[in-house]
Amino acid sequence: MGTVLLPIRKTENNSDLFGMLKSLDAECRMCTPITPLDCITRCKVYRIKNELRHLRETMDNPDYIKELLNVLKNETRLHILQAIVKGRYSVSQLQKELKKNGYIHSQDKINIEYLRPLIAVGLATESIGGYYATTLGGRLTKLLTCFPELAEKLPTHSECYDESILQFLLSGPKTYENMEGVIPPKIVSRIIKRIVSAGLGEPPVEKAFIFFFKSKRDPNKETFTETERKIYDTIPSEGISAGKLAKETAIYMRRIYKCLRGLKGKKLIFVRKTPKVYSLTCEGEKLASVLQELQQIVEDTRISSEQVMQNTALTIKVGGVSGHAFLQ
């Protein structure tokens, strides 16, 4: 998807699907179907490998992750996924299932607006008897149970800039300038505001980015008022904001600032501005972690699909089988 979402770090989870593929290959080699049709229509191994072949083509799209997220940011589609993960459903059965959850849609709308997008990104497939979730669809459905509010918290039909910033903030608080290097600078303010409004991010305290520090000047060479001394002695080596000084000394803010000006005039303190930083709320961290894991699953699937394309082929032999599977 280009630069829209952040690169993911490879983890040991990548080995999960690789291990499954090795098991499938071993199962294929031991399988002795009577006819090629049995291999194609009844074999779970063939179905999974065939899904991965089709996904390889779909994932070649540089905007795949963005399109996938936009498909998932829809409550009706998520309900459909949760249903077809359990088994095959016809459109009429899905219509009844959705009605139980308060969603009233025509069969045409269910097919065109909800099922077709799921199929387009490789989360669902159609077969005789109805629709069912692919292996990727099943893995992502299981993941999204950790954050069912996905469709509510993120904007639909977007360029996924919110998702990019959420993942960027997952590693720790970041400044406005930091975020300008991740998404287009002209929209940073709007994206931050939207994330904060959704309860996913925390803005900086407006006056907390101005800190006061003690200078190296010897305080014994200066005279203090009682309040100045109290304030001066409260300032730690790592600096402190005026607001925190007021809390720790129980002195009014107006008096705090007056004494700080006096201490600054005596060159006993100096001011340093630290950039405002934005961070995630607990809910924001949870969603960002889900997004990161989603990308990891997609990357895992992409690598596995490449492996299938490279190492397997559909082999149809005429006559007897003699201990070899039709699908190698």
Q: What is the DSSP string of 45-103?
A: HHHHHHHHHHHHHHTTSTTHHHHHHHHHS-HHHHHHHHHHTSS-B-HHHHHHHHHHTT-
Can you list the pairs that 230-236 forms with residues at least 24 positions away whose Cβ atoms lie under 8 Å?
231/256, 231/259, 231/260, 231/263, 232/263, 232/268, 232/269, 235/269
pLDDT digits (tens, 9 = 90+) for 255-307: 999 999 999 999 999 998 877 889 999 999 999 999 999 999 999 888 888 87
Mean pLDDT over residues 89-105, rounded? Answer: 93
pLDDT band at 108 (very low <50, low <70, confident <90, very high): very high
**Smallest Cα–Cα separation from 241: which of 265, 272, 220, 278?**
272
> How many CB atoms are located within 10 Å of the residue 238 CB?
7
Q: Among all chains, which residue has been given the structure tokens 């730690």?
A: 236
40 compared with 164, residue with greater pLDDT:
164
**Residue 318: what pLDDT?**
37
**Residue 53: what pLDDT?**
80
pLDDT digits (tens, 9 = 90+) for 196-249: 999 999 988 655 578 899 999 999 989 999 999 999 999 998 899 898 999 999
pLDDT digits (tens, 9 = 90+) for 159-185: 999 999 999 999 999 988 899 999 999
**Residue 43: what pLDDT?**
59
Question: How many residues appear in the chain?
Answer: 328
Mean pLDDT over residues 106-112, rounded? Answer: 94
Asked if pLDDT for residue 77 goes beyond 50, the answer is yes
Contact by Cβ (8 Å): 1, 66: yes
Question: Residue-wise over 160-188: b if at least 16 C-beta within 10 A, else e?
Answer: bbbbbbbbbbbeeebeeebbeebbeeeeb
- Please tell me the number of Cα atoms within 13 Å of 161 on its side-chain side: 19
Token pair for 259: 């004494």
**Residue 275: what pLDDT?**
79
Contact by Cβ (8 Å): 78, 72: yes
Judged on CB neighbours under 10 Å (0-12, 13-18, 19+), 313 is: exposed
> How many CB atoms are located within 10 Å of the residue 278 CB?
21
Given 3-state DSSP classes, what are the helix, strand and coil percentages for the chain, each rounded to the nearest 5?
55, 10, 35
| pTM check: above 0.85 | no
